[in-house]
Amino acid sequence: MDRLGKDCVHCAHQLCAKKVPIFSVLDEEELNRVTELIVRKKYNKGELIIIEGSNPESLIIINRGKVKVFKNSHDGKEHILYIFSTGDFFGEKNILRKSDATYSAEALEETHVCMIRKDSFQQMIRQNPDIGIKLLEELCRRMDAVESMSMENAEGKVNKVLLEFSKKYGKDHPKGILVDLPLSREGIANYIGVTRETVSRKMSSLQDESVIKMIGNKKIL
């Protein structure tokens, strides 16, 4: 359990409910109610938040940090499904379907999360249907992303993923946009379903074409 804000309602707001998009529709009083339903927790880099095959019963919202959600294919390879960061949620399947988790989730850095249990969640949605609508919106966005990614070949996927990272993690810089990649080449490869060598090659050719410039593990657009 997180030592921060355990008994400080105002801190709790700051930490969680207030900055989460899906709760943006709530007013102060509703936020207070939601805050009471939340359990906070901290994970260190590399710790597993959800393990495939277990049966967690909470929705998880990221307060600070980054999380990768992945599953292993029968031949043992890791397929990363999503990279989530501050304000994102995951684990909605845990509370909407009865089955065991079909995926694992691991903290990529020190990560603080808020957890809402199944029954609290249902109650919350009934009191604030607009949260449900927000959730639906976000799921639609994810579907869109998955659908459009699935139509690309290796080169298109690398381009898309770099664009995605530059939007999410890019910072302005005199010579373009500086992006701090959340994943290694291997991670990117597992994310888009190709090998690390392919990622290397495609990124090298992008550099040859002067589209990007690599600096260690960051890059400039």
Answer yes or no whether residue 204 interacts with DNA by CB under 7 A: yes
Name the segment binding a second copy (CB under 8 A); options: 33-41, 91-99, 179-187, 210-218.
91-99
Answer yes or no whether residue 163 interacts with a second copy by CB under 8 A: no
Q: Which two three-digit tokens encode residue 126?
A: 């009934």
162-to-86, 95, 156, 191, 216 alpha-carbon distances in Å: 19, 32, 10, 11, 15
Q: Using CA atoms, how far apart are residues 69 and 187, in angstroms rounded to an integer?
A: 11
Q: Which two three-digit tokens encode residue 106?
A: 């691991």
Site string for DNA, 28-67 (x = CB under 7 A): ----------------------------------------
Q: Could you say which of DNA, a second copy, none residue 54 binds, taking C-beta under 5 to 8 angstroms by partner kind?
A: none
Q: Considering the complex, state which of residue 43 and residue 70 has its C-beta at the smaller distance from a second copy.
A: 70
Residue 141 CA, chain-centre distance (Å), reads 13
Answer yes or no whether residue 129 interacts with a second copy by CB under 8 A: yes
Whats the size of the chain, residue-wise?
221
Binding site for a second copy (CB under 8 A): 71, 73, 79, 81, 92-93, 96-97, 102-103, 122, 125-126, 129-130, 132-133, 135-137, 139-144, 146-148, 150-151, 193
